[in-house]
Structure 1
Amino acid sequence: MKKYLLTGVAAGVVPLLVAGCSHDDAGAPAGTTSERGAVDAYISALNARDPDALAGLAPPGNEAAKEAAALVDAKGGRSLTIKSVDISHEFGPDFAAARVVSRGEDGKELRDDLTLSRNSGHWYVAIGENPKGRDKSPAETSKP
């Protein structure tokens, strides 16, 4: 009986792990559980030329499809290998800056400065724009 229970648990965990970094049907991305995981997923999406996977790394609510497609067009498909990642937390524990140095199969070096944010325990890459932020008017600059 224990053998079947363990198999059932393992079968239930694998789909959760596979779905861990993708959008669900409601469009809310799941993010990654570490800053480095977000960086690795970013490079993997570029290497795969997968704008959907890249957009899935954006914070919940961001419209990232257009920017993700542009990033894939500019940087995708180079078989990038990460050479170094420097992650710093200068604005608290839920925000990070990641300086990523990678090298393509052509030998050219690529440097990316990524902004990462944590929401509900998951890390996201700042890609796209949150449409809720567009409704605000700019600050008043003239005297009343």
Structure 2
Amino acid sequence: MLDRAWIAAHIPHQGSMCLLDTVSEWSENSIACRTSSHTDPANPLRAEGRLGAANGIEYAAQAMAIHGALLASSDDQPRQGYLTSVRSVTLHTARLDDLPGELLVRAERLSGDANNILYQFSVSHADRCLLEGRAAVVLDASTLSKEQP
């Protein structure tokens, strides 16, 4: 199990913006992380004293970033990814901050190449799915702006 210190050393999110506490399992195609940061009154994603369920997308994006860091060769500098779209997102609850204990954040790589990846993700609590969807990640955003001849 990889802890918060390992996570913070491998993704760009630092301090309280590093939302995930542990990596509980991972493989070439998937990752599962756990966290209780949703219960923290100082969570930086809170607005008007609450943490809406849509913020679970950021939790999933960080799991994807961790997955990328785990797959990178130890000699490689992890590449910074950019969430370019989320699709088919379904929220099964209104908020996350009123749930005690840990959240389970899962991401599964559905397809991709060296620069573009499609993930399916979910955030759950006590075996109840809170939100789910798909996300596209681009690892080199400079390729998006290059004009084609």
TM-score for both structures, normalised by structure 2: 0.31
More helix by share: 1
TM-score for both structures, normalised by structure 1: 0.32
More strand by share: 2
